[in-house]
């Protein structure tokens, strides 16, 4: 009953995920969104609410689609995937096996041969494999063609395929089909999107774990425990005259406390999850001419920049990604805060404030050659709300000796380092510290389950809230149907993560666990 | 094509059990002429198994039948010998009434009531075949070959279709013990293309109460004041008869386990499924070997009889084993069995073959109600019967069917369950089946169903206006309870809940767990005793106040649910040609032919991915209709 159903969020075809609607969307985000939109289809029966008719997501899944699945750029090998009912026919038409005796292509056999154009000329020498329905990535009849890398060759082959009865696949459409055909659940489909987008080892590990179904398993185990609790409660409600050996409130409460604890860990893991997925965000800020751009460039030059964009980033500011020992770090150079500003700068400052709020670490640069810089610091820091702050005393190369010497004795109860962004002096200490801070956010992930989706976090939080309420009603000895009500509501939230529907399982559990029958 | 012009009756109801009687009466109330075809006119609404009405989930259905003008509540109120309210320690949504009936008096009451109905003709006969023209039912042919024509047919065959009784190794063709079954009608179903399945149910032996030592059992008296079922019943004084509770012993277990191979359930003689919630005693002992003892309720069968129904001892073991085993139960050491227990197998039509109106998908104006749909229980049967009666009458008038959704009634939950999950075991109602349970209570059955009852003329108009007064007074009372406040200092025990407050309203006091109307009466300044229906109004008001926040939350869920239900799948939509769907899902959709996306979502084994695909097809189909 699941039953019992949430719809406020999600559903691409029907509505956009609510958390995506809230924000202004950058082009990069939009690209990612189309994947999510394709994936986060009606999650449970609960949430199918037809809203937008014209959505591009009204993609059918009964035709045949094809796309190049290797990244753009030249490579040794390129691959093209074809999925849908016509896949085999299309391959038969464009592919000529080298061994002419091969009449019918067997599933999961690799064939060597040629892709021919409509005039019978060879486009490329390739290998191809056909996968039957139910045993392919999409769950549909599917074929893959491996040719020589190189965009021209790939495009020529794709053209030939599209000339047959196929259309170009939309972004994420193969995975969407995998979900629609029941091959993977929603949480795993989302993990695919993450996996594809992962830019660093950490992000990859997490996405892979989730793709392997670890998140789904964890969710299922919570779900099972809740259904067990419900079975106890419901059996007692529906069989008041039977002397059933159901668990007492105390036992129920204990297991519920455990479940809430598990959920709490998952919910909190989102902090790491988000950082892993979206990167550790560092805002470089300070008063005008404090040397922000110099620091920005210096850090950029010292680290490998990540060229491809990472979803969820904003591009309003000068912002770049660096790979800091396997961690994606996003550096943002904000407009100068404070100082006299015109209208335009003021607008800039407002969003600078926002950047700061969304950062995991704020570096406050101070120009120590300026007059009165010491007095300004306490007020400036106070303005930075409760972020983790790092003070950098810049321009030590130009500072007077006594100023430099005094740096050791001042303390604003935040970590501070004297540096010169121009000469690079002092940068080693600063960078060492930076690594300590960032890696603290990235614990050993080998056995830890981390959620990387805000949608999951929202659902888990909601579920947890309902379970807490249920626990409270157990404590207060409220009537059991109210406890059951809250448990069921929580269960619905959980089910939305994997896109599952609540059903008769409670009753089944009751019958198998209790001897019942007046 | 030849068209029958002459109809003997508007509606033929086949079978005079709890479903058949409600169906006939409902159709009659709408003004249709009804032929009630039954094998024995003296056995209308006979209680074939336990002599009781109500229980969890079931009593809710009885109250709903009552609010639709049905008979069951009135009959039990008139003939009950013990009434109880179950679950009073829990919340009002799961309060439930249960009554022991005087079996003979109940049956007698119903017979008289039906006989007095001028629109109903009771015909003693056995239906043998359906008369069908252009896939529309136009009557029946009796086993003797006589034809009766009608505009609609309702089948409520109970355990009589192909009934086969098992007692140990013995097999007796019968619908009930000593009553012949109907064998031809199943064939007629099959030849029309219906899938016919087989189910099993069972009943315990009946005992001679004079040979029971009740002193060794625990007495269970009825409740006072008597909690009657029907809103029409004027409370009367009733001297109630107690039930008794006793237990099986180690010896019982030993004897039954020793003789398990002689039970047709275990020997393989019976292959059909029985209800898990009402297992035979051998099944209970076998499956729950660790349990040292099982409860047995000794229920009197009525006034002026010593017969006792041992609830919990349903069995199909051979008679000698039944006797040996039952005498190991505390207090039953000397007991005499008057009738042996037995299992009965019967034919049913798996319920994916009916629509929400209970009309079959294959044959128009053929309606199925009761055990033929795979349900079990008098109350479930009555609920289906009344709906079939109303819908058959509406179909004749070419009116749209009367369908209750899951958020409106337990009857709606039951029918929706049936049409989305073809049952393979007898279906029984539980409150946990209703996801909007907090809103589906005994106390508000009339709030939920009276508007329909009035619309279809199922109740006298004065009943409705009387109810409106009650409802208005309830609302007014809730308002004054929310308004009237008093200083916290005046409270005694309850003050601790409001330590930081100065004043508190009566409604807030009522919200405290465990606080009842009686507890706040001293502070109420007369509001509580101030109106015509004081007791009932106060109870209704208190329930609404206590559930306040929860009901609001649930209403939001109901809204979402209804949105999905409103995503109607057009009748002309073809499930056969769906592409891009998993085979399993497609088969399910073809089998169940859901009429809304919501309904599709509840079909077992359907995934969200399947729904997404289906939904795309529906959209496309709709836009193709428009162009």
Do A414 and A292 share a domain, yes or no? yes
> Mutate which of A15, A86, A241 to test chain B, going by most B C-beta atoms within 10 A?
A241
State both tokens at A391. Answer: 């003070």
Do A284 and A398 share a domain, yes or no? yes
State both tokens at A490. Answer: 């929580």
State the Cα–Cα distance between residues B308 and B318, nearest whole angstrom.
20
Do A291 and A436 share a domain, yes or no? yes
* Interval A310-328 mean pLDDT: 61
Which among B94, B97, B98, B63 has a CA at the least distance from the CA of B437?
B94
Do A282 and A417 share a domain, yes or no? yes
Share the mean pLDDT of chain A.
75
Residues of B in contact with A136 (CB under 8 A): none
State both tokens at B585. Answer: 């899902």
ipTM of the complex: 0.89
Query: Packing angle between helix A201-211 and helix A214-238, nearest 10 degrees?
Result: 40
**Does A400 reside within a domain?**
yes
Cα–chain center distance at A137: 21
Q: Cite the beta strand spans of A12-107 per DSSP E.
A: 65-68, 77-83, 95-97
3 state SS of A330: strand
**Does A194 reside within a domain?**
no
In chain B, the percentage of residues whose pLDDT exceeds 90 is 73
Res A32: pLDDT:
37
3 state SS of A462: helix
Q: Which residue has the tokens 């890398």?
A: A149
**Does A434 reside within a domain?**
yes
Res A381: pLDDT:
80
Domain boundary among A387, A419, A440: A440
Residues of A in contact with B288 (CB under 8 A): 515
Number of domains in chain A: 3
Alpha helices in B156-238 (DSSP H): 184-191
Indicate the domain borders of chain B.
206-343, 461-554, 567-626
Q: Is the dihedral of CA A477, A478, A480, A485 positive or negative?
A: negative
State the Cα–Cα distance between residues B77 and B100, nearest whole angstrom.
10
Q: Which CATH number fits domain B461-554: 3.40.50.300, 3.40.50.2300, 3.20.20.10, 1.10.10.1800?
A: 1.10.10.1800
Res B217: pLDDT:
96
The pLDDT confidence band at residue A25, using thresholds 50, 70 and 90, is: very low
Taking only the tens place, the pLDDT of each residue in B277-327 is: 888 999 999 988 888 999 999 999 999 899 999 999 999 999 999 999 999
**Does A38 reside within a domain?**
no
The pLDDT confidence band at residue A421, using thresholds 50, 70 and 90, is: confident
State the Cα–Cα distance between residues A366 and A418, nearest whole angstrom.
10
Res A456: pLDDT:
84
* Interval A180-199 mean pLDDT: 73
pLDDT tops 50 at residue B71 = yes
Q: What count of CB pairs under 8 Å joins A to B?
A: 185
Q: State whether residue B580 sits within 8 Å of chain A by CB.
A: yes
Q: Which residue of B has its CA nearest to A53?
A: B619
Residue A162: CB partners within 8 Å, gap ≥ 6? A66, A168
Q: Which residue of B has its CA nearest to A139?
A: B582
**Does A209 reside within a domain?**
no
Do A401 and A500 share a domain, yes or no? no
Cβ pair A60:B616 closer than 8 A = yes
> Mutate which of B222, B248, B314, B609 to test chain A, going by most A C-beta atoms within 10 A?
B609
Do A396 and A323 share a domain, yes or no? yes
Res A514: pLDDT:
56
Which among A442, A436, A387, A440 has a CA at the least distance from the CA of A273?
A442
Domain extent for A376: 277-440
Res A342: pLDDT:
47
Cβ pair B619:A50 closer than 8 A = yes
Which residue from B435, B550, B579 is facing A482, i.e. has the nearest CB?
B550
Res A304: pLDDT:
59
Poorest-pLDDT segment among A328-337, B228-237, B509-518:
A328-337
Q: State whether residue B598 sits within 8 Å of chain A by CB.
A: yes
**What is the bridge-based pairing of β-strands B164-167 and B170-173?**
antiparallel
Q: State whether residue B424 sits within 8 Å of chain A by CB.
A: no
Cβ pair B608:A43 closer than 8 A = yes
pLDDT tops 70 at residue A14 = no
Q: What is the DSSP string of B36-105?
A: EEES-GGGTT---S-SEEE-TTHHHHHHHHHHTT-SHHHHHHHHEEEEEEE-TTS-GGG-EEEEEE-HHH
Q: What is the DSSP string of B423-471?
A: -SS-B---GGG-TTGGG--STTHHHHHHHHHHHTT-S-HHHHHHHHHHH
Taking only the tens place, the pLDDT of each residue in A383-399 is: 776 677 888 898 888 88
pLDDT tops 90 at residue A212 = no
Res B42: pLDDT:
95
Q: Which residue of B has its CA nearest to A243?
A: B295
Domain boundary among A391, A408, A440: A440
Res A377: pLDDT:
82
The pLDDT confidence band at residue A441, using thresholds 50, 70 and 90, is: low
3 state SS of A321: strand
The pLDDT confidence band at residue A414, using thresholds 50, 70 and 90, is: confident
Q: A474 and A252 in contact (C-beta within 8 Å)?
A: yes
Res A243: pLDDT:
74
The pLDDT confidence band at residue A99, using thresholds 50, 70 and 90, is: confident
Which among B305, B302, B252 has a CA at the least distance from the CA of B282?
B252
Which residue from A3, A504, A515 is facing B561, i.e. has the nearest CB?
A3
State the Cα–Cα distance between residues B242 and A154, nearest whole angstrom.
86
The pLDDT confidence band at residue B28, using thresholds 50, 70 and 90, is: very high
Residues of B in contact with A45 (CB under 8 A): 564, 597-598, 601-602, 608, 611
The pLDDT confidence band at residue B83, using thresholds 50, 70 and 90, is: very high
Taking only the tens place, the pLDDT of each residue in B440-483 is: 999 999 999 999 999 999 999 999 999 999 999 899 989 988 98
Res A506: pLDDT:
55
Do A391 and A319 share a domain, yes or no? yes
Cβ pair A61:B87 closer than 8 A = no
Q: Which residue has the tokens 């004749």?
A: B396
Which residue from B284, B311, B597 is facing A515, i.e. has the nearest CB?
B284
Share the mean pLDDT of chain B.
92
Taking only the tens place, the pLDDT of each residue in B592-613 is: 999 998 999 889 888 878 888 8
Residues of B in contact with A59 (CB under 8 A): 616
Do A467 and A427 share a domain, yes or no? no
Do A383 and A398 share a domain, yes or no? yes
Q: State whether residue B287 sits within 8 Å of chain A by CB.
A: yes
**Does A187 reside within a domain?**
no
State the Cα–Cα distance between residues B587 and B573, nearest whole angstrom.
15
* Interval A478-499 mean pLDDT: 89
Which residue from B278, B406, B607 is facing A182, i.e. has the nearest CB?
B607
- On whether the B206-343 domain is CATH 2.40.33.10, my answer is no
Residues of B in contact with A503 (CB under 8 A): 602, 604
Cβ pair B432:A43 closer than 8 A = no
Residues of A in contact with B434 (CB under 8 A): none
> Mutate which of B58, B377, B552, B612 to test chain A, going by most A C-beta atoms within 10 A?
B612
Question: Rg of chain B's alpha carbons, rounded to an integer?
Answer: 26
Chain B: give the shortest CA distance to residue A467, in Å: 15
Taking only the tens place, the pLDDT of each residue in B247-286 is: 999 999 999 999 999 999 888 888 888 887 888 999 999 9
State the Cα–Cα distance between residues A197 and A204, nearest whole angstrom.
9
> Mutate which of A139, A175, A237, A504 to test chain B, going by most B C-beta atoms within 10 A?
A237
More confident residue, A204 or B621: B621
Cβ pair B561:A5 closer than 8 A = yes
State the Cα–Cα distance between residues B161 and B129, nearest whole angstrom.
12
State the Cα–Cα distance between residues A330 and B355, nearest whole angstrom.
59
Q: Which CATH number fits domain B567-626: 3.40.50.300, 1.10.760.10, 1.10.150.570, 1.10.3720.10?
A: 1.10.150.570
Q: A206 and A273 in contact (C-beta within 8 Å)?
A: yes
E strand or H helix at B112: helix B103-115
The phi and psi torsions of A212 (rounded to 5 degrees) equal: -70, 0
Neighbours of A79 (CB within 10 A): 17
Cβ pair A48:B437 closer than 8 A = no
State both tokens at B23. Answer: 């169906």
More confident residue, B79 or A43: B79
Residues of B in contact with A515 (CB under 8 A): 279, 284, 287-288, 291, 294
State both tokens at A477. Answer: 């000895």
Q: Which residue of A has its CA nearest to B619?
A: A53
Cβ within 8 Å of A, B 550-569: 550, 553-554, 557, 560-561, 563-564, 567
More confident residue, A356 or A310: A356
Res A27: pLDDT:
33
Chain B: give the shortest CA distance to residue A146, in Å: 26
Do A375 and A292 share a domain, yes or no? yes
Cβ pair B431:A489 closer than 8 A = no
More confident residue, A282 or B333: B333
Domain boundary among A416, A440, A464: A440
**Does A498 reside within a domain?**
yes
**Does A93 reside within a domain?**
yes
Q: A467-471, B469-473, B528-532 — which one is most confidently predicted on average?
A: A467-471
Do A381 and A425 share a domain, yes or no? yes
3 state SS of A244: coil
CA distances from B517 to B35, B134, B441, B522, B540 (A): 49, 60, 18, 10, 10
DSSP state of B364: B
Res A43: pLDDT:
29
CATH of the domain at A498: 1.20.120.430
* Interval A203-207 mean pLDDT: 68
Residues of B in contact with A61 (CB under 8 A): 580, 613, 616
Cβ within 8 Å of A, B 256-285: 276-279, 284
* Interval A276-285 mean pLDDT: 81
Residues of A in contact with B597 (CB under 8 A): 45, 48
State the Cα–Cα distance between residues B241 and B80, nearest whole angstrom.
10
Taking only the tens place, the pLDDT of each residue in A27-58 is: 333 333 333 333 333 222 223 333 333 333 44
Chain A: give the shortest CA distance to residue B301, in Å: 16
State the Cα–Cα distance between residues A311 and A33, nearest whole angstrom.
9
Chain B: give the shortest CA distance to residue A157, in Å: 26
Which residue from B279, B438, B550 is facing A517, i.e. has the nearest CB?
B279
pLDDT tops 90 at residue B16 = yes
CATH of the domain at A82: 3.30.1360.120
Q: State whether residue B610 sits within 8 Å of chain A by CB.
A: yes
Which among B106, B128, B180 has a CA at the least distance from the CA of B14?
B128
More confident residue, A186 or A21: A186
State the Cα–Cα distance between residues B29 and B15, nearest whole angstrom.
19
State the Cα–Cα distance between residues A15 and B560, nearest whole angstrom.
14
Q: A105-109, A189-193, B19-23 — which one is most confidently predicted on average?
A: B19-23
Taking only the tens place, the pLDDT of each residue in A118-169 is: 888 999 999 999 999 989 989 899 999 999 988 889 999 999 999 998 988 8
Which among B98, B88, B67 has a CA at the least distance from the CA of B408?
B67
């Amino acid at each position: 009953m699941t039953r019992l159903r949430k719809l406020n969020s999600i559903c691409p075809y029907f509505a956009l995920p609510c958390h995506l609607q809230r924000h202004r969307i950058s082009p990069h985000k939009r690209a990612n969104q189309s994947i999510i939109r394709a994936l986060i289809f009606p999650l449970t029966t609960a949430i199918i609410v037809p809203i937008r008719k014209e959505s591009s997501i009204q993609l059918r899944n009964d035709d045949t689609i094809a796309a190049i699945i290797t990244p753009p750029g030249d490579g040794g090998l390129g691959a093209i995937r074809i999925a849908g009912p016509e896949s085999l026919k299309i391959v038969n038409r464009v592919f000529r096996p080298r061994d002419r005796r091969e009449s019918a292509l067997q599933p999961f056999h690799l064939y060597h041969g040629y892709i021919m154009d409509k005039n019978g000329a060879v486009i490329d020498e390739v290998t191809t494999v056909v996968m039957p329905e139910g045993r392919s990535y999409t769950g549909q009849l599917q074929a893959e063609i491996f040719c020589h890398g190189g965009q021209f060759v790939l495009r020529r082959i794709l053209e030939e395929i599209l000339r047959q009865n196929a259309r170009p696949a939309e972004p994420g459409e193969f995975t969407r089909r995998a979900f629609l055909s029941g091959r993977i659940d929603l949480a795993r489909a989302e993990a695919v999107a993450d996996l594809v987008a992962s830019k660093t080892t950490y992000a990859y590990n997490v996405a892979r774990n989730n793709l392997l179904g670890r998140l789904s398993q964890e969710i299922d185990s919570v779900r099972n425990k809740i259904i067990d609790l419900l079975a106890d409660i419901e059996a007692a409600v529906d069989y008041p005259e039977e002397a059933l050996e159901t668990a007492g409130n105390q036992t129920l409460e204990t297991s519920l406390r455990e479940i809430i604890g598990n959920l709490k860990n998952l919910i909190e893991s989102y902090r790491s999850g988000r950082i892993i997925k979206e990167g550790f965000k560092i805002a470089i800020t300070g008063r005008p001419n404090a040397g922000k751009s110099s620091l920005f460039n210096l850090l950029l030059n010292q680290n490998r920049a990540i060229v491809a964009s990472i979803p969820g980033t904003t591009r309003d500011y000068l912002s770049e990604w660096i790979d800091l020992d396997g961690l994606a770090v996003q550096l943002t150079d904000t407009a100068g805060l404070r100082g006299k500003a015109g209208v335009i700068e003021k607008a800039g400052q407002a969003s600078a404030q926002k950047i700061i709020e969304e950062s995991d670490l704020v570096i406050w640069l101070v120009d120590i050659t300026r007059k009165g810089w010491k007095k300004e610091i306490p007020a400036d820091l106070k303005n930075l709300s409760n972020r983790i702050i790092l003070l950098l005393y810049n321009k030590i190369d130009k500072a007077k000796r006594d100023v430099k010497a005094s740096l050791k004795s001042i303390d604003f109860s935040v970590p501070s380092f004297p540096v010169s962004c121009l000469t690079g002096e002092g940068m080693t200490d600063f960078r060492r510290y930076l690594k300590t801070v960032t890696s603290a956010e990235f614990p050993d992930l080998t056995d830890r389950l981390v959620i990387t989706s805000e949608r999951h976090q929202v659902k888990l939080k909601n579920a947890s809230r309902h379970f807490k309420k249920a626990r409270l009603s157990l404590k207060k000895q409220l009537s059991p149907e109210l406890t059951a009500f809250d448990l069921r509501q929580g269960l619905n939230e959980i089910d939305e993560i994997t896109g599952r529907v609540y059903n008769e399982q409670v009753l089944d559990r009751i019958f198998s666990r209790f001897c019942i029958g007046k | 094509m030849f068209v029958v012009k002459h109809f003997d009756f508007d509606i033929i109801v086949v079978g005079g059990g709890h479903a058949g009687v409600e169906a006939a009466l409902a159709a009659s109330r709408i003004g249709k002429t009804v032929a009630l075809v039954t094998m024995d006119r003296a056995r209308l609404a006979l209680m074939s198994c336990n002599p009781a009405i109500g229980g969890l989930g079931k009593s809710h259905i009885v109250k709903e039948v009552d609010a639709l003008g049905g008979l069951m509540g009135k009959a039990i109120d008139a003939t009950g010998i013990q009434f109880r309210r179950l679950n009073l320690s829990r919340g009002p949504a799961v309060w439930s009434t249960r009554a022991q009936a005087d079996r003979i008096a109940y049956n007698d009451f119903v017979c008289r009531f039906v006989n007095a109905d001028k629109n109903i003709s009771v015909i003693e006969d056995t239906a043998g075949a359906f008369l069908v023209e252009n896939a529309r039912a136009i009557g029946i042919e009796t086993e003797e070959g006589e034809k009766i024509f009608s505009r609609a047919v309702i089948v409520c065959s109970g355990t009589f279709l192909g009934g086969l009784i098992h007692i140990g190794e013995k097999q007796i063709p019968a619908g009930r013990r000593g009553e012949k079954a109907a064998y031809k009608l199943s064939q007629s179903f099959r030849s029309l293309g219906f899938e016919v399945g087989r189910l099993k149910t069972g009943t315990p032996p009946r005992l001679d109460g004079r040979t029971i030592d009740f002193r060794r059992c625990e007495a269970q008296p009825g409740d006072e004041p008597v909690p009657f079922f029907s809103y029409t019943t004027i409370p009367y004084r009733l001297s109630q008869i107690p039930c008794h509770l006793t237990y099986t012993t180690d010896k019982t277990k030993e004897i039954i386990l020793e003789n398990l191979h002689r039970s047709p359930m275990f020997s393989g003689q019976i292959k059909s499924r029985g209800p898990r919630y009402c297992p035979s005693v051998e099944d209970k002992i076998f499956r729950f070997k660790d349990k040292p003892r099982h409860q047995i309720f000794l229920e009197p069968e009525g006034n002026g009889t010593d017969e006792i129904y041992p609830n919990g001892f349903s069995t199909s073991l051979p008679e000698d084993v039944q006797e040996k085993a039952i005498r190991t139960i505390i207090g039953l050491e000397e007991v005499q069995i008057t009738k042996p227990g037995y299992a009965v197998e019967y034919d049913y039509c798996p319920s994916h073959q009916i629509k929400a109106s209970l009309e079959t998908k294959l044959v128009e104006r053929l309606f199925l109600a009761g055990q033929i749909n795979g349900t079990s229980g008098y109350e479930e049967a009555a609920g289906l019967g009344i709906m079939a009666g109303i819908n058959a009458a509406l179909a004749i008038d070419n009116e749209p069917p009367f369908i209750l959704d899951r958020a409106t009634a337990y009857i709606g939950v039951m029918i929706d369950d049936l049409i989305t999950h073809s049952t393979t075991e007898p279906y029984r109602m539980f409150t946990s089946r209703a996801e909007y349970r907090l809103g589906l209570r005994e106390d508000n059955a009339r709030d939920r169903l009276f508007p329909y009852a009035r619309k279809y003329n199922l109740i006298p108009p004065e009943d409705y206006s009387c109810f409106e007064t009650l409802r208005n007074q309830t609302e007014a009372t809730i308002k004054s309870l929310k308004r009237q406040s008093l200083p916290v200092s005046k409270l005694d025990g309850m003050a601790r809940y409001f330590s930081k407050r100065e004043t508190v309203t009566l409604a807030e006091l009522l919200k405290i767990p465990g606080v009842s109307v009686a507890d706040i009466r001293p502070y109420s300044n007369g509001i509580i005793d101030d109106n015509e229906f004081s007791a009932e109004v106060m109870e209704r008001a208190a329930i609404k106040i206590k559930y306040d926040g929860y009901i609001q939350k649930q209403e939001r869920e109901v809204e979402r649910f209804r949105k999905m239900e409103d995503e109607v799948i057009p009748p002309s939509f073809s499930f056969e040609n769906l592409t891009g769907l998993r085979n399993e899902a497609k088969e399910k959709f073809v089998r169940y032919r859901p009429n809304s996306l919501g309904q599709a979502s509840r079909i077992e084994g359907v995934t969200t991915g399947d729904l997404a695909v289906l939904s795309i097809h529906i959209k496309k189909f709709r836009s193709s209709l428009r162009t």
